[in-house]
Amino acid sequence: MEINKEEIKQAGFPFLLMIVGAAMSVLFIVIFSELAEEMLENEINAIDDAIIQRINLIENATLDQIMIFVTELGSVWFLSLCTLAAIIALWVKAKDKLGILFLLIAIGGGGALTKLLKQLFGRGRPSINPEIDAIGYSFPSGHSMGSLIFYGLIAYFIVRSARKPFTKWMTTIVAGFLVVCIGFTRIYLGAHFPSDVLAGHLAGTIWLLITILALEWIKWERANQIKVTRVFKRIINRY
């Protein structure tokens, strides 16, 4: 079949985007694997303990209440309500069925992946406290992973919208700040080791990247009526 040079030119950018995204995902997977290996071999315990001891120095009653409030912003019940609100917003404002589908895939898949990883590594928590949702296994942090996926995806939707640049920048900054703060609360409240939080952020980033890349790929192909994989398959078959 004849190769259309214009198709190749148009397909080049999304193909490059996928390569870069895949490379970043692989990089984060390698980092996560190294962290998990060090955790299993107890090589990171000293660093975890040192960070926890430093954080314990700032504990006080007022800060306790603030941390309990902030940690709920990454809880399953709160993110579930926010997901429902986001679905309604995507439907009412944009009738974005594809966005809704990938939001559900991101949140649902992220939750399933968190449970799978927790069962796989089976690390015990620093302390058990059902009041702050600190039960079950510890590695990686579900709050850290879930909040990064949700708030990261919401920031993505805002950035991809027609809103003003200031709104896009502020949304991204606030989302990043929230993710970091939620992760910190899990260490402060004794629900997780610092390495659990880092692992949650890494795993969340990997899943978020995969979700966004898949969504961008489908949207691009729909908008341009060009199947990127088909174009490059023609090139491979020719040579």
Per-residue pLDDT reduced to its tens digit, 213-227: 888 888 877 766 656
Rounded to whole angstroms, the Cα distance separating 134 from 128 reads 5
Dihedral sign (CA 16, 17, 18, 24): positive
Q: Which amino acid is at 168?
A: K
Q: Which two tokens stand for residue 169?
A: 């920048």
Provide the pLDDT for residue 180: 97
pTM for the full predicted model: 0.87
> Of residues 118, 123, 125, 143, which has the active-site annotation?
143
pLDDT(36) > 90? yes
- Per DSSP, the three-state class of 18 is helix
Provide the pLDDT for residue 222: 73
Annotated active-site residue 201? The verdict is: no
Q: pLDDT tens across 161-208, in order?
A: 888 999 999 999 999 999 999 999 999 999 999 999 999 999 999 999
pLDDT(8) > 50? no
Annotated active-site residue 143? The verdict is: yes
Average pLDDT of the chain is: 86
Rounded to whole angstroms, the Cα distance separating 99 from 123 reads 35
Q: pLDDT tens across 201-214, in order?
A: 999 999 999 999 88
Rounded to whole angstroms, the Cα distance separating 198 from 50 reads 15
Provide the pLDDT for residue 2: 45
Rounded to whole angstroms, the Cα distance separating 142 from 166 reads 31
- 146 and 205 in contact (C-beta within 8 Å)? no
Task: Provide the 10 A C-beta neighbour count for residue 47.
Answer: 13
Average pLDDT, stretch 15-25?
A: 78
Task: Provide the 10 A C-beta neighbour count for residue 41.
Answer: 9
Average pLDDT, stretch 19-47?
A: 90
> Of residues 118, 186, 192, 201, which has the active-site annotation?
192
Provide the pLDDT for residue 185: 95
Q: At what angle do helices 165-188 and 142-159 cross, to 10 degrees?
A: 180
Rounded to whole angstroms, the Cα distance separating 32 from 24 reads 12
* CA atoms within 13 A of residue 125's CA, in its CB half-sphere: 21
H helix runs in 72-161, sequence order: 76-89, 97-121, 142-159
Rounded to whole angstroms, the Cα distance separating 33 from 232 reads 32
